Structure 1
Amino acid sequence: MRAVRRLRREEGGFTLPELLVAMMLMLTAMFALYSIFDMSLRIFSFGNDRTEAVEQARAGLERMDRELTAAHPYDRAGGDETLLPSYGPEHISFGNDLDGSRKVAPGEEIIYELNGSTLMRNGLPMVEFVDDLSFEYLDASGAAATGESDIAMVRITLDIEVRRGPWAGTQTLSTEVALRNRTDRG
């Protein structure tokens, strides 16, 4: 009997209050780890979205640069040297001679404009998360152009803003495009 009592005393277990305290400490630690994990996922997601938006905008800006550089007069064969039939601070219209006819055919016109927060190319979405799009028209000396025939260069500025909850990431991309098919610049 004495041996059984001694064995029971040596087999000390946990009391109910000890178990409850241990469980509360484990739950507190798990909630802290969960909140750190959740915040890490949110930050990663935001950074990933911003990177993707900026890369998409960069690719869109490069395409605008390439197409605008190759802007072709609407009817060079007929004497019409107009490169930009419609242009403004938030939109631009021009054409590329894709078939070699020396004039811009109906399917060769390109229009860039901002619709809400999406940069549109011929009415189709091209770049999302655009906060602002602006075009500046410069003459050969770099001053503001006074008319379509004076435009030798176009400065394009694209402001990107990705907003996820309380965080907002912004990036401004800009390029200057020389109109290589402008034959009447001085």
Structure 2
Amino acid sequence: MRILVVEDEEGLAESLRRGLSADGHWVDLAHDGHRGLELARTGPYDAVLLDLMLPGLSGYEICARLRADGDPTPVLMLTAKDGEYDEAEGLDCGADDYLTKPFSFVVLSARLRALARRAAAGPPRPPPPPPPRAQLRDPPRPRSRPRPHHNDFPVPLPPPPPAPPPRGGGGRHRRPPLHPPGR
């Protein structure tokens, strides 16, 4: 994997570079937020390890700008800020994972492998469509009656019954007017 480490503590950044290189990764380092954002935008990285408290731009700002640019590179925030609101803000601004200092290098390596697996799997699949809603109406009736057959020949049907007389309009069942005409 090609990994960008954005960390202002140079001793920690160098330790990360040595450890990740020993695991077979290519590692680039940046020690401030502006340089980190510049490298992240120009280099094709498989993952970005990002400290939050950096000179120039914070890790939150870098991550938010990368996501606003449409950059899908996995970001793992590696920081001393261990509050639940700090972690929530990091994830909400677009980070894929969050690890607090001090950390285990074994756990860091495992999380990088997990990020690589998720990135290789591609974008998440859309959720399945919701199940159809229950129908409250009766099932549709066939439009015509099936025709009876005898020896593969249709049997003629009698004509349909006459339609009922129209309701309330004309005909012999008319009500007499309340007032006779001319009064």
TM-score by length of 1: 0.20
Q: Which of structures 1 and 2 has the larger relative contact order (alpha carbons within 8 angstroms, sep 6+)?
A: 1
Q: Which structure has more strand as a fraction of its residues?
A: 1
Instruction: Give the structure with the larger helix fraction.
Output: 1
Q: TM-score when scaled to structure 2? A: 0.20
Query: Considering only CA atoms, is the larger Rg found in Structure 1 or Structure 2?
Result: 2
